[in-house]
Amino acid sequence: MAFFKNAKQPLGIFLYNIRLSTCSRHGYSTWATKGTSFAQSTDTKASKTAYLYWVSRRFNSQAASSAEQMSLIKQLRERTSAPIKDVKASLVDCNWDIEAAQKELRKRGKVLAMKKSSRTATEGLLALAQNEGKAAVIELNCETDFVARNEIFEYLALALAKKALFVQNSSQQIPGVFSFGPECLEDLKLNLDHPKISGETTIQNAVTEVAAMMGENIKLRRGVVMSTSSHGVVSAYLHRCPRPGLGRIAGILSLEVENEISQLDALQKVGSELAMHIVAAKPLFLTKEGVTSDVLNNERKILKSQQGDDQGVLLV
């Protein structure tokens, strides 16, 4: 309660009064703790005005500095999409130099991405790319559905699918179909053109950089390329498609005709509808040769039991 009589004074005056109590030896007046009045000399009034001006200038400079720091955090966040906590830490370490902080953030993100590479990634998207007579589908995985909906993740998936169109391999188990793993694409060059990730790099580095931005484990799991002859078309269907070329389930097939194709659009439409039915049917095998003996035996047992039930109904 010793400061009751000064409670309504402005902050600058209050700080000034405290300062006066410790500087009386320089000719300043002192004030009593009980709130008694005190005389002010001409020098004291001038000092008081100067001190209030100093407090105001200091407050304004601190406010401007905070606004600049917030602006830098916002800019670096927009550039990298990294978590705000990491963005601020990088700026502080680099003395608020945004260019140096961006480099530091990329280095730090890649280290964290390598540490997270062993974590399970079961979410993600399928990306489809097509050209004349060929289609490619790749599976890009992440840890959460939230990252799977991120525009940078979607952009990377589409870029990988377009690159997969150029994968070649003569050892095809099924004519016109080639399945491949991530090792077939990792060392290929990828030219990215996105506001937050751009430049030429390898596919492996691009995946690592996006993983650093997202803060999750991101993996290129697998892919498949299907091609057809000059007398055929490749059609595709994507289920649960957030945007063109992306989905959660994909079906691709090739249709061939004996003569030259006259109605390409009509054939493509039929192929897309067939691909949609294939996705709905959820087939376990693509060819007769791929069916295992265990599955055949189970299906035979089911058919025999169904036949026995039908005979029992007929006898009744």
| Domains annotated on the chain, with CATH | 121-284 (3.30.479.20)
pLDDT for 266: 82
Compare 214 and 76 and report the one with higher pLDDT: 214
The label of the residue with tokens 């009034």 reads 45
User: Cα-flanking dihedrals φ and ψ of residue 38, to 5°?
Assistant: -140, 155
Are the C-beta atoms of 140 and 221 separated by less than 8 Å? Answer: yes
* pLDDT in the model for residue 4: 46
Instruction: Please tell me the predicted confidence (pLDDT) of residue 42.
Output: 52
Per residue in 12-44, pLDDT (tens digit) is: 444 445 444 444 444 444 444 444 444 445 555
pLDDT digits (tens, 9 = 90+) for 150-195: 999 999 999 999 999 988 765 555 667 888 898 888 888 888 888 8
pLDDT band for 8, please (50, 70, 90 cuts).
very low
Q: Which long-range contacts (CB under 8 A, 24 or more apart) does 209-212 make?
A: 209/106, 209/109, 209/110, 209/113, 210/152, 210/153, 210/156, 211/109, 211/113, 211/116, 211/117, 212/82, 212/106, 212/108, 212/109, 212/110, 212/112, 212/113
| C-alpha neighbours within 13 Å on the C-beta side of residue 66 | 6
DSSP 8-state symbol, 24: G
Report whether pLDDT(95) > 70: yes
Residue 5 CB contacts under 8 Å (≥ 6 apart), including other chains: 35
pLDDT of residue 161: 94
pLDDT tens per residue, range 272-307: 899 999 889 888 887 788 888 898 999 889 888 887
Rounded average pLDDT over 236-262: 85
Dihedral through CA 127, CA 141, CA 252, CA 158, nearest 10? 10
DSSP letter at 31 equals -
Which alpha helices (DSSP H) does the chain contain, by range? Answer: 11-22, 42-80, 84-93, 98-115, 145-148, 151-164, 203-214, 264-281, 293-315
Q: How many Cα atoms occupy the beta-carbon half-sphere of 73 within 13 Å? A: 15
How far is 141 from 131, CA to CA, in rounded Å?
24
Cα 86 to Cα 77: distance, rounded to the nearest angstrom: 9
Tens of pLDDT, residue by residue over 188-244, are: 888 888 887 888 888 988 898 888 888 889 999 999 999 887 778 888 999 888 888
Kindly state the greatest CA–CA separation across the chain.
123
Q: What angle do CA 278, 242, 263 make, to 5 degrees?
A: 50
pLDDT bucket at 248, cuts 50 / 70 / 90: very high
pLDDT score of 50: 57
| Predicted structure pTM score | 0.64
Q: What is the pLDDT of residue 35?
A: 44
In the chain, the N- to C-terminal Cα span, in Å, equals 102
Q: What CA–CA distance (Å, rounded) separates 134 from 123? A: 27
Please enumerate, as own/partner, the contacts of 20-26 that have beta carbons within 8 Å and a separation of 24 or more.
20/44
CA–CA separation, 54 and 56 (whole Å): 5
